Structure 1
Amino acid sequence: MADETKPKRFFTPVFRLSFPNLYVARKNEDDPNSKAKFGLSAVWTPAKFTPKDKELWLAIMKELNAVSVRDFKAPWKELPDNIKRGVRDGRAKSGMEGYGEGTRFANLTTHSRPGVIDSPANGKADIGPEHGNADLIYPGCFCRASVNVYSYGLKPGSKGKGVALGLFNVQKIKDGPRLDNRVAAADDFDDEIDSAWLDQEDSDFDNSDEDDFE
């Protein structure tokens, strides 16, 4: 018999990772009383979905609709504007890199630190600061995640309400162009270093005449 208290687990289609916050929990700046969360923004381009992606997407959409009907008495697509839908049209952030026409996005959050692993090609190795490889996760890489669908704001006096995707674990699938325009440190510097800096002792700089450069 299935455990009805255990949240249903779903797997997302592959998405482009944006705003990763997977290792240090942060509070919502707009609500100082909120509990700190881990999370990320997942950006999908449905036109590029594989048949398997479409199957995974439809399963999540079906659950979003079921939760909407159960808790807000309306189908997901017909929820009023004061109830957040969890999955949003990328045009709402069209001025941001990676979003825009033809994309969908969702903020996946959790109060517990999610597990993060590498692709099967890399042995599903753990990724994180304690493993010295947290830089493998960055805005722009491609990932997938295990999630659940839940509702919030059902209690009287709640600030907001809606349906959302909770986050369990994340798997990196492959690299992609960075969304934050940062350049890796190894790529930012060439191998040429003025040999004078390597040959001189620290004491050689003690008697330098700063006035020569004013």
Structure 2
Amino acid sequence: MRNKTKVVTGVVRLSYAHVWEPHSVQGGKEKYSVSLIIPKSDTKTIEKIENAIDAAIEEGIGRFGGKKPKKAALKLPLRDGDVEKDDAAYKDSYFVNANSITAPQIVDGNVEPILDRSEVYSGVYARVSISFYAFNVNGNKGVACGLGNIQKVKDGEPLGGRSSAADDFESLEDDDDDFLS
């Protein structure tokens, strides 16, 4: 039977990628996490996510006291980048924040493991498996997104203003070693 709450995205862009080491947000439990930037033009992925959210609500009725809440009353994971983010990377996009306490498997286009941590970063393009589940904690009710695995598709401009060493420095020539004198 197919898992109705699991989605493998189309090509998305990774942002706030903490996929190699777990990261704590505001002193909370350390988790692997990433923000998936989904182009609004990728209607197939958006529809799959909306269907998975609906399935998570249905499966989570027990967490909501046995009755299905109105969707508008829930905290939902699919958010509008044009409304919620003042960041050019999120323009004309939706986004989903996904996290997990277990490390994602990270693979290349041939499903071979990527071991070089510099290969997957905020700004890279990837396909990602994610799962949705209902929660009801301390009066906060909604649907959250769990991070599965990541398949790198292609490089992208790094996000967050990080530059490479090659961008920052020029090669030192052998005849310029008088700076040590």
What TM-score bracket applies, with the shorter chain setting the length?
Answer: 0.7 to 0.9
Q: 1:191 to 1:104 in 2, by over 3 A?
A: same
Aligned pairs, how many? 175
Question: Which position in structure 2 is the counterpart of 1:114?
Answer: 104
Q: CA deviation at 1:43?
A: 0.5
Unaligned runs of 5+ in 1: 206-214
Question: Which position in structure 2 is the counterpart of 1:210?
Answer: none
Q: Does residue 164 of structure 2 align to residue 190 of structure 1?
A: no
Higher relative contact order (CA 8 A, sep 6+): 2
- Aligned AA for 1:67? A
Deviations 1:175-207 (A, max 9, x none): 11222222211333222436242897xxxx5xx
Unaligned runs of 5+ in 2: none
Q: 1:198 to 1:152 in 2, by over 3 A?
A: farther
Answer 1 or 2: which has greater strand percent: 2
Question: Which structure's CA Rg is the greater one?
Answer: 1
Match of 1:167 among 147, 162, 172: 147
- Aligned AA for 1:14? V
Deviations 1:2-37 (A, max 9, x none): 49xx885320121111000011112220xx3x4221
Pairing 1:64-103 to 2, within 5 Å after superposition? 64-70=53-59, 71=61, 72=64, 73-74=68-69, 78-80=71-73, 83-100=74-91, 102-103=92-93
Measured in 1, the distance between the counterparts of 2:141 and 2:127 equals 26
TM-score of the superposition, structure 1-length normalised?
Answer: 0.71
Measured in 2, the distance between the counterparts of 1:59 and 1:147 equals 11
Q: 1:105 to 1:79 in 2, by over 3 A?
A: same
Match of 2:30 among 23, 36, 57: 36
TM-score of the superposition, structure 2-length normalised?
Answer: 0.82
Determine what percentage of the aligned residue pairs are the same residue.
27
- Aligned AA for 2:37? V
Question: Which position in structure 1 is the counterpart of 2:40?
Answer: 46
Is this contact kept in 1: 2:17–2:34, CA < 8 A? Answer: yes
Q: CA deviation at 1:93?
A: 3.5
Q: CA deviation at 1:159?
A: 5.9
Pairing 1:111-190 to 2, within 5 Å after superposition? 111-120=101-110, 124-127=111-114, 131=115, 133-153=116-136, 158=138, 160-190=140-170
Measured in 2, the distance between the counterparts of 1:46 and 1:91 equals 10
Q: After TM superposition, which residue ranges in structure 1, 4 or more long, deviate above 6 angstroms?
A: none
- Aligned AA for 1:138? Y
